Chain A
């Protein structure tokens, strides 16, 4: 399960160009990690690709922190 968290954090680091240490589970993409609204769309796209899942728009809107993303993927990714 921690594997999912690591993969999510890696995507966030690569995509937003932030330090790994900043990518804590309670970090908000927009307020804490400097993402703009288009970045959040792209992050969701990257998560969908990495974990081969579909994240519907209404779920994507609720993913505001790194922990939100990990939580959603843990409960929706295929084992």
Chain B
């Protein structure tokens, strides 16, 4: 089950906690992976730890020409692209009354617009080969909202709507488009929370613990597999029961 031998995958934000775990999990299942992100050194380290079947293409998700270059170089490095994991994302938290235009725009640009551009750039090859898996990492807050994250929640909700639309456009060509929505996961992004914030979060999580990046990666592996061919336009929530939707 979930064998990815012979498949190729591009993971954005692969230098982060969840992105790294996703890249490792896809690689372990046999896929060739291209790691993307802005921190070239961290990407190279991950590449070395993976060994064979790994490439690095650093790119900025707020730069349209850079995104096109990423799509081209990833396809060139691996010969084709079967699986795109849109994991790159940033936060610029602030309560809305204080949120600056730049904070709003930056988050939308990287998390939503960049993701759309990259997905559009890789669709052509997937359509030709009649196979594709597009998996975007959204967030629980894209569905529930979260104070201080109007920009982030809007972008993550946008990913869900985008994915449902693409899923309908591309289903007849063997391409599935889905989202994975993590709840609170132990990563450098959540390490920044104070103990009080963490306590407050855990009070809302029936599983009574933060999730692990590996638990998110397992969901991505499933959606990337041949076995998930009939699953499209869906959002897989992995959140310890924090929200049941």
Contact = CB atoms under 8 A, between A and B. Distances in A.
A45 B169 contact: no
B50 interface: no
B98 interface: no
B173 interface: yes
B172 interface: yes
B127 interface: yes
A53 to B, nearest CB: 15
A45 B172 contact: no
A38 B128 CA distance: 12
A45 B173 contact: no
B124 A38 contact: no
Chain B interface residue number, banded: under 10
Contacts of A6: none
Interface residues of A, number: 4
Interface in A17-76: 38, 41-42, 45
Interface string B38-65: 0000000000000000000000000000
Contacts of A42: 127-128
Interface of B: 124, 127-128, 169-170, 172-173
The 5 closest A-B CB pairs, nearest first, are A42-B127, A38-B169, A45-B128, A45-B124, A38-B173
Given A45-B127, A45-B128, 9 more contacts: A38-B127, A38-B169, A38-B170, A38-B172, A38-B173, A41-B127, A42-B127, A42-B128, A45-B124
